[in-house]
Amino acid sequence: MEDDALLAEQMAYYDDGAAEYDRPYTEYEPLRKLLTVVDDLPITGDVLELACGTGQWTPLLAARARSVTAVDASAEMVAIARARAASPKVRFVRADLFAWEPPGRYDTVFFAFWLSHVPPARLPDFWKTVASALAPGGRAIFVDDGPAVAAEEEVLADHPVPAAVRRLDDGSQYRIVKVFHDPRTLTEDLTSLGWSARVRPVAGHFVGIAEPPANRTHAVGRS
């Protein structure tokens, strides 16, 4: 399947480019400012962080959480994240998010710049996995690139799966899945899956908070 080939190339990109991953956070002030949105988000209790990368967000989550389980498929990324977010509150897991099943339930499931790397055909199953990881009353919180960021990417036209090309300093290049979700459309898509969602644009990116169908059922039951 085209999805499988793209995802394998995407994983190789993040393995091989781990040392370069943090550069945008040092070069672009809007991206550094985006990290501060954590202060205004309802991050509480036990947190599951999906695709933690080099751990840019992990210590910010740990400051607000009881515990953080941070998951990423790249061993190189996880090694950097461990050094950045060393804390008794934080546990790291290396796993392929398309095959891994959460071992428990969490009050918050958080993911930054991951949703855009999920092939559209896999989105319903991804959201089911997120829902299964949430404790009653829990929320999914997510941050990602909006459509405006597409102008900064080398997007592959007429590709069967939305994709872009990324290049590393050594000249190597990789295809990655890259879906630029529109906040309004994403909200509608989540609603169609039974979620209650609020997705707002933030300087070319977006921040979303969503509650799964089970939480809505519980709320109706309490009325």
Amino acid at 91: R
Per-residue pLDDT tens listing for the chain (223 residues): 579 999 999 999 999 999 999 999 999 888 999 999 999 999 999 999 999 999 999 999 999 999 999 999 999 999 999 999 999 999 999 999 999 999 999 999 999 999 999 999 999 999 999 999 999 999 999 999 999 999 999 999 989 999 999 999 999 999 999 999 999 999 999 999 999 999 999 989 999 999 999 764 444 333 3
The two structure tokens encoding residue 217: 């059922």
Check residue 215 and give its pLDDT. Answer: 64
Check residue 219 and give its pLDDT. Answer: 41
Asked if 145 contacts 179 with a C-beta cutoff of 8 angstroms, the reply is: no
DSSP helix/strand/coil, 160: coil
Check residue 203 and give its pLDDT. Answer: 87
Rg (CA), the chain: 17
Q: Is the dihedral of CA 148, 151, 72, 2 positive or negative?
A: positive
Query: Can you state the percent helix, strand and coil of the chain, rounding each to 5?
Result: 40, 25, 30
- Closest Cα to residue 176, out of 117, 123, 114? 117
Query: What does pTM read for this prediction?
Result: 0.94
- Closest Cα to residue 185, out of 146, 130, 216? 146
Check residue 2 and give its pLDDT. Answer: 76
The two structure tokens encoding residue 32: 């550094």
- Closest Cα to residue 81, out of 92, 89, 73? 92
Check residue 221 and give its pLDDT. Answer: 38
Check residue 51 and give its pLDDT. Answer: 98
- Closest Cα to residue 130, out of 89, 161, 97? 97
Check residue 1 and give its pLDDT. Answer: 59
